[in-house]
Protein backbone atom coordinates (compact mmCIF):
# COMPACT_ATOMS: atom_id res chain seq x y z
CA UNK A 1 0.00 0.00 0.00
CA UNK A 2 1.16 3.51 -0.80
CA UNK A 3 0.68 6.51 1.48
CA UNK A 4 -0.57 9.82 0.09
CA UNK A 5 0.78 13.18 1.22
CA UNK A 6 -2.17 13.42 3.70
CA UNK A 7 -1.22 10.10 5.34
CA UNK A 8 -3.99 7.96 3.78
CA UNK A 9 -3.34 4.39 2.67
CA UNK A 10 -4.11 3.90 -1.01
CA UNK A 11 -3.95 0.96 -3.36
CA UNK A 12 -3.52 3.31 -6.33
CA UNK A 13 -0.05 4.57 -6.85
CA UNK A 14 -1.20 7.59 -8.86
CA UNK A 15 -4.08 9.09 -6.79
CA UNK A 16 -5.18 8.44 -3.21
CA UNK A 17 -8.21 6.07 -2.95
CA UNK A 18 -9.44 8.07 0.07
CA UNK A 19 -8.94 11.79 -0.79
CA UNK A 20 -8.05 11.71 -4.48
CA UNK A 21 -4.79 13.64 -3.99
CA UNK A 22 -1.98 12.87 -6.35
CA UNK A 23 0.27 10.41 -4.59
CA UNK A 24 3.58 12.09 -5.57
CA UNK A 25 3.59 15.63 -6.82
CA UNK A 26 6.03 16.13 -9.67
CA UNK A 27 8.78 18.44 -8.57
CA UNK A 28 8.58 21.82 -10.19
CA UNK A 29 11.53 22.70 -12.33
CA UNK A 30 13.48 25.65 -11.06
CA UNK A 31 14.14 28.26 -13.72
CA UNK A 32 17.78 28.21 -14.66
CA UNK A 33 19.77 31.39 -14.83
CA UNK A 34 20.31 32.64 -18.36
CA UNK A 35 23.78 31.82 -19.63
CA UNK A 36 26.21 34.65 -19.26
CA UNK A 37 27.92 35.69 -22.48
CA UNK A 38 31.53 34.63 -22.46
CA UNK A 39 34.08 37.35 -23.01
CA UNK A 40 36.19 36.93 -26.10
CA UNK A 41 39.68 35.63 -25.42
CA UNK A 42 42.38 38.23 -25.40
CA UNK A 43 44.65 38.18 -28.41
CA UNK A 44 48.00 36.70 -27.53
CA UNK A 45 50.81 39.13 -28.12
CA UNK A 46 54.49 38.26 -27.98
CA UNK A 47 57.56 40.34 -28.64
CA UNK A 48 60.90 39.02 -29.79
CA UNK A 49 63.16 38.58 -26.72
CA UNK A 50 66.14 39.68 -28.82
CA UNK A 51 64.97 42.85 -30.60
CA UNK A 52 61.42 43.41 -29.14
CA UNK A 53 59.77 43.24 -32.58
CA UNK A 54 56.11 41.98 -32.46
CA UNK A 55 55.93 38.32 -33.44
CA UNK A 56 54.62 37.55 -36.93
CA UNK A 57 55.62 33.89 -37.34
CA UNK A 58 58.06 31.24 -36.17
CA UNK A 59 61.06 33.43 -36.97
CA UNK A 60 61.50 37.11 -36.13
CA UNK A 61 61.36 39.21 -39.28
CA UNK A 62 64.12 41.51 -38.01
CA UNK A 63 66.77 39.39 -36.25
CA UNK A 64 65.68 35.85 -37.18
CA UNK A 65 65.01 34.62 -33.60
CA UNK A 66 63.46 31.12 -33.61
CA UNK A 67 60.40 31.14 -31.30
CA UNK A 68 60.19 27.33 -31.29
CA UNK A 69 63.48 27.09 -29.47
CA UNK A 70 64.47 24.04 -31.53
CA UNK A 71 67.31 25.67 -33.37
CA UNK A 72 69.82 28.43 -33.19
CA UNK A 73 68.73 31.96 -33.88
CA UNK A 74 69.36 32.83 -37.51
CA UNK A 75 70.18 36.47 -38.21
CA UNK A 76 69.61 38.15 -41.56
CA UNK A 77 72.24 37.70 -44.19
CA UNK A 78 75.43 39.42 -43.14
CA UNK A 79 73.90 40.51 -39.81
CA UNK A 80 76.15 38.49 -37.49
CA UNK A 81 79.51 39.64 -36.23
CA UNK A 82 80.49 42.75 -38.20
CA UNK A 83 83.43 42.36 -40.57
CA UNK A 84 85.34 44.80 -42.70
CA UNK A 85 87.51 44.47 -45.80
CA UNK A 86 90.72 46.49 -45.71
CA UNK A 87 92.41 47.17 -49.06
CA UNK A 88 96.10 47.91 -49.54
CA UNK A 89 99.03 47.34 -51.89
CA UNK A 90 101.20 44.23 -51.41
CA UNK A 91 104.74 44.60 -52.76
CA UNK A 92 105.55 40.88 -52.35
CA UNK A 93 102.49 39.89 -54.38
CA UNK A 94 103.37 42.45 -57.06
CA UNK A 95 106.91 41.05 -57.35
CA UNK A 96 105.45 37.55 -57.72
CA UNK A 97 103.08 38.67 -60.48
CA UNK A 98 105.91 40.39 -62.39
CA UNK A 99 108.19 37.35 -61.95
CA UNK A 100 105.51 35.07 -63.39
CA UNK A 101 105.26 37.33 -66.45
CA UNK A 102 101.53 37.93 -66.36
CA UNK A 103 99.71 39.82 -69.12
CA UNK A 104 100.97 43.41 -69.42
CA UNK A 105 103.35 42.80 -66.52
CA UNK A 106 105.90 45.23 -67.90
CA UNK A 107 103.31 48.03 -67.94
CA UNK A 108 102.23 47.53 -64.33
CA UNK A 109 104.11 49.76 -61.90
CA UNK A 110 103.85 49.36 -58.16
CA UNK A 111 102.23 52.48 -56.65
CA UNK A 112 104.57 54.69 -54.60
CA UNK A 113 101.71 55.45 -52.20
CA UNK A 114 98.55 53.46 -51.53
CA UNK A 115 96.71 54.19 -48.26
CA UNK A 116 94.61 51.50 -46.62
CA UNK A 117 90.87 51.79 -47.13
CA UNK A 118 88.22 50.03 -45.06
CA UNK A 119 84.86 48.81 -46.36
CA UNK A 120 82.17 47.49 -43.97
CA UNK A 121 80.65 44.15 -44.98
CA UNK A 122 76.87 44.11 -44.76
CA UNK A 123 73.90 43.04 -46.85
CA UNK A 124 73.55 40.02 -49.11
CA UNK A 125 76.48 40.71 -51.39
CA UNK A 126 79.53 42.96 -51.62
CA UNK A 127 81.01 43.29 -55.09
CA UNK A 128 84.75 43.86 -55.62
CA UNK A 129 86.04 45.60 -58.73
CA UNK A 130 86.26 48.91 -60.59
CA UNK A 131 83.28 51.08 -61.42
CA UNK A 132 82.17 51.38 -65.03
CA UNK A 133 79.80 54.04 -66.32
CA UNK A 134 79.24 52.12 -69.54
CA UNK A 135 78.07 49.05 -67.62
CA UNK A 136 76.36 51.10 -64.91
CA UNK A 137 78.46 49.16 -62.40
CA UNK A 138 79.62 50.61 -59.09
CA UNK A 139 80.93 47.84 -56.81
CA UNK A 140 80.68 48.18 -53.05
CA UNK A 141 84.47 47.71 -52.77
CA UNK A 142 85.55 50.10 -55.50
CA UNK A 143 89.23 49.69 -56.46
CA UNK A 144 89.16 52.33 -59.17
CA UNK A 145 91.68 54.38 -57.22
CA UNK A 146 93.75 56.38 -57.20
CA UNK A 147 95.98 54.53 -57.39
CA UNK A 148 94.26 52.20 -59.85
CA UNK A 149 95.26 48.56 -60.15
CA UNK A 150 95.01 47.82 -63.89
CA UNK A 151 94.81 44.08 -63.25
CA UNK A 152 91.46 44.32 -61.43
CA UNK A 153 88.36 43.51 -63.49
CA UNK A 154 85.26 45.71 -63.33
CA UNK A 155 83.50 42.84 -61.52
CA UNK A 156 86.39 40.85 -60.14
CA UNK A 157 84.94 39.00 -57.13
CA UNK A 158 81.90 38.96 -54.86
CA UNK A 159 81.49 38.44 -51.11
CA UNK A 160 78.20 36.71 -50.29
CA UNK A 161 76.60 37.22 -46.84
CA UNK A 162 75.22 34.07 -45.21
CA UNK A 163 72.28 33.72 -42.74
CA UNK A 164 74.64 32.77 -39.90
CA UNK A 165 76.70 35.96 -40.35
CA UNK A 166 79.60 34.35 -42.21
CA UNK A 167 80.84 35.29 -45.70
CA UNK A 168 81.67 33.39 -48.87
CA UNK A 169 84.04 34.61 -51.59
CA UNK A 170 83.44 33.77 -55.25
CA UNK A 171 85.26 34.72 -58.44
CA UNK A 172 82.62 35.00 -61.20
CA UNK A 173 85.27 34.77 -63.95
CA UNK A 174 87.74 37.64 -63.60
CA UNK A 175 90.39 38.15 -66.28
CA UNK A 176 93.40 37.66 -63.98
CA UNK A 177 91.94 35.44 -61.26
CA UNK A 178 91.67 35.73 -57.48
CA UNK A 179 93.76 34.15 -54.72
CA UNK A 180 92.75 33.42 -51.14
CA UNK A 181 95.67 33.00 -48.74
CA UNK A 182 97.93 32.25 -51.68
CA UNK A 183 95.67 29.67 -53.37
CA UNK A 184 93.85 30.42 -56.65
CA UNK A 185 90.06 30.28 -56.57
CA UNK A 186 88.10 28.20 -59.04
CA UNK A 187 85.60 30.18 -61.07
CA UNK A 188 82.12 30.27 -59.49
CA UNK A 189 83.14 28.02 -56.57
CA UNK A 190 82.35 29.84 -53.26
CA UNK A 191 84.94 29.63 -50.47
CA UNK A 192 84.33 30.71 -46.87
CA UNK A 193 86.36 33.63 -45.56
CA UNK A 194 86.84 35.04 -42.08
CA UNK A 195 89.01 37.37 -39.99
CA UNK A 196 92.68 37.21 -41.00
CA UNK A 197 92.07 35.88 -44.52
CA UNK A 198 93.93 37.69 -47.32
CA UNK A 199 92.48 38.07 -50.81
CA UNK A 200 94.90 38.94 -53.62
CA UNK A 201 93.77 40.21 -57.00
CA UNK A 202 95.02 42.36 -59.82
CA UNK A 203 98.70 43.31 -59.97
CA UNK A 204 99.25 44.32 -56.34
CA UNK A 205 95.94 44.60 -54.46
CA UNK A 206 95.42 42.73 -51.18
CA UNK A 207 92.16 42.71 -49.21
CA UNK A 208 92.33 41.62 -45.58
CA UNK A 209 89.17 40.50 -43.73
CA UNK A 210 88.99 41.86 -40.19
CA UNK A 211 86.47 42.07 -37.38
CA UNK A 212 84.97 45.53 -37.36
CA UNK A 213 83.77 47.65 -34.49
CA UNK A 214 80.33 46.44 -33.21
pLDDT digits (tens, 9 = 90+) for 128-172: 999 988 888 899 999 998 899 989 999 999 999 999 999 999 999
**Confidence band, pLDDT 50/70/90 cuts, at residue 201:** very high
Q: What's the confidence (pLDDT) of residue 26? A: 40
Q: Measure Cα distances from 105 to 110, 164, 177, 184 in Å.
A: 11, 40, 15, 18
End-to-end CA distance of the chain: 99
Enumerate the domain spans of the chain. Answer: 45-74, 83-211
Which CATH number among 3.30.1490.100, 2.60.200.20, 3.20.20.10, 3.40.462.40 corresponds to the domain 83-211? Answer: 2.60.200.20
Residues 89, 111 contacting (CB under 8 angstroms): yes
pLDDT digits (tens, 9 = 90+) for 10-67: 777 776 766 767 766 444 445 555 556 555 444 457 776 655 667 777 655 544 555 5
Say whether pTM exceeds 0.85: no
Amino acid sequence: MATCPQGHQSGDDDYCDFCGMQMAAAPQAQPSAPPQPSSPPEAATEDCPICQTPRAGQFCEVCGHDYSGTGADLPLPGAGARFEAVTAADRAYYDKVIAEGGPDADAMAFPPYCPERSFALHGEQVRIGRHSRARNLRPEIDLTGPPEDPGVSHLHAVLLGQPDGSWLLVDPGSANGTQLNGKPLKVNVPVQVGPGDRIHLGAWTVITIREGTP
